[in-house]
Amino acid sequence: MPPAHQTIFALPLRALTWLGSQGTRAVAAVVFIAVAMPPLGAVLRPYVTEAILVLLCISFMRVDLAALYSHLRRPALVATATAWTTIGVPLIVGLIVHATGLTSHAPGLSLALMLQSMASPMMASPALAALMGLDATLVLVTLVTSTALVPFTASLFASLFLGDMLSITPSTLGLKLLGILAASLLAATIIRWIFGAAAIQRHKQPIDGFNIIILLVFASAVMGDVASDLMTQPMFTIGLAALSFAIYFTLLAITTLLFRRIGYERALALGLMVSQRNLGLMLAATAGALPPTTWLYFAMTQFPIHLAPYMLTPIARRLTARTDAPSAAASSTP
């Protein structure tokens, strides 16, 4: 007869393993569950910062250090991709926002777009790339370098483009981002030291399942008011949703084309990373003190973030199969 503690934890572990095995389907389902259960969002909204810290911790905990070091020995591609996502994207968005006069006509939306462009890529990007069959290692390394720089680049672009639109100063924003990242990295390092990288790898699927639950916590907290907003201001809400999809796929397409020389499969992986912006990190750094339009836009961005990996998986698999075919042919040649 197994010990009592093993019996107690067996069922939750099996449930998490099953949830983790659902891959991009479960990630896509999160957004619909969050919209369908507004009371859950009201309960979970105060815990946005904690959810972000846990998501960051899980991602740092799972970093493949050997792969990280091997890519850092060839830094040109990583440096270019990092510069594009941390400097190129916010600079272009900032110039467009100001050139179109959006800052004065729709300050809440312009703040949302700037915070989106200034954010680092989502920490779940490597896991999503892996679920889609793409090169997760390159995404992971670029994610690490981008995340390390974002406290400084976000502070710079906030001072250049946001003025007094933020409730905190650009330097405070940078310090808060640095504190959140440092705390999650420290927690992840302690967990890796206690349990070891091998144990973390062995329990990949249960960790994936737990990650999906925390994604649900975050999505519910952000999207709790979407149903009521859709009822009270349907055209505005649908317009923000359309804008969020347009920006997502524009970033994805431009990044894929910019990096197409490294192969479309790896370029698509980078495109996925650049389009998946970590808005939760910005929510945590600003303590959620944002205008209603900014909150609503952030909620709408959850649709492409959660649905696009599922939608793009067939394309990713075709690209991967095309990349693998010449390698297989070459290896079979005598």
Measured between alpha carbons, how far is residue 44 from residues 37, 95, 215, 216, 218 in Å?
11, 35, 12, 10, 8
pLDDT computed for residue 3 by the predictor: 54
> Per-residue pLDDT for 325 more than 70?
no
> Mean pLDDT over residues 259-267, rounded?
87
Report the pLDDT value the prediction gives residue 63, as an integer from 0 to 100.
72
Identify whether 262 is part of a domain. Answer: yes
pLDDT at 38: 77
The parent domain of residue 82 ranges over 25-317
Of 4-8, 149-153, 264-268, the range with the highest mean pLDDT is 149-153
Residue 231 lies in a domain: yes
User: Is 172 a domain residue?
Assistant: yes
Span 211-229, average pLDDT? 82
Domain count, the chain: 1
pLDDT, mean over the chain: 82
Collapsing DSSP to helix, strand or coil, 285 comes out as helix
Banded pLDDT at 329 (limits 50, 70, 90): very low
Q: Is 117 a domain residue?
A: yes
Average pLDDT estimate for 146-159: 89
Question: Which has the minimum average pLDDT: 83-87, 94-98, 163-167, 259-263?
Answer: 163-167
Q: Report the range out of 71-75, 222-226, 261-265 with the highest average pLDDT.
A: 261-265
What pLDDT score does 322 carry?
Answer: 65
Task: Determine what percent of the chain is predicted with pLDDT higher than 70.
Answer: 89
How many Cα atoms occupy the beta-carbon half-sphere of 265 within 13 Å?
18
Q: What is the pTM of this model?
A: 0.81
State the CATH number of the domain containing residue 142.
1.20.1530.20
Per residue in 91-142, pLDDT (tens digit) is: 999 999 989 988 888 889 999 999 999 998 887 777 777 777 777 778 878 8
pLDDT at residue 319 tops 50: yes
- pLDDT for the residue numbered 6: 54
Q: Which residue has the higher pLDDT, 127 or 326?
A: 127
> What is the model's pLDDT at position 297?
92
In the predicted model, is pLDDT for residue 218 greater than 70? yes
- In a domain? residue 5: no
Q: Which phi and psi angles does 318 have, rounded to 5°?
A: -65, -45
Residue 166 and residue 130 in contact, taking contact as beta carbons nearer than 8 Å: no
CA distance 316 to 122: 19
CA distance 265 to 50: 34
pLDDT at 255: 95
Reported as a single tens digit per residue, the pLDDT across 48-93 is 788 888 888 887 887 777 766 776 677 888 899 999 999 999 999 9
Average pLDDT over residues 251-269: 90
- Residue 183 within a domain: yes
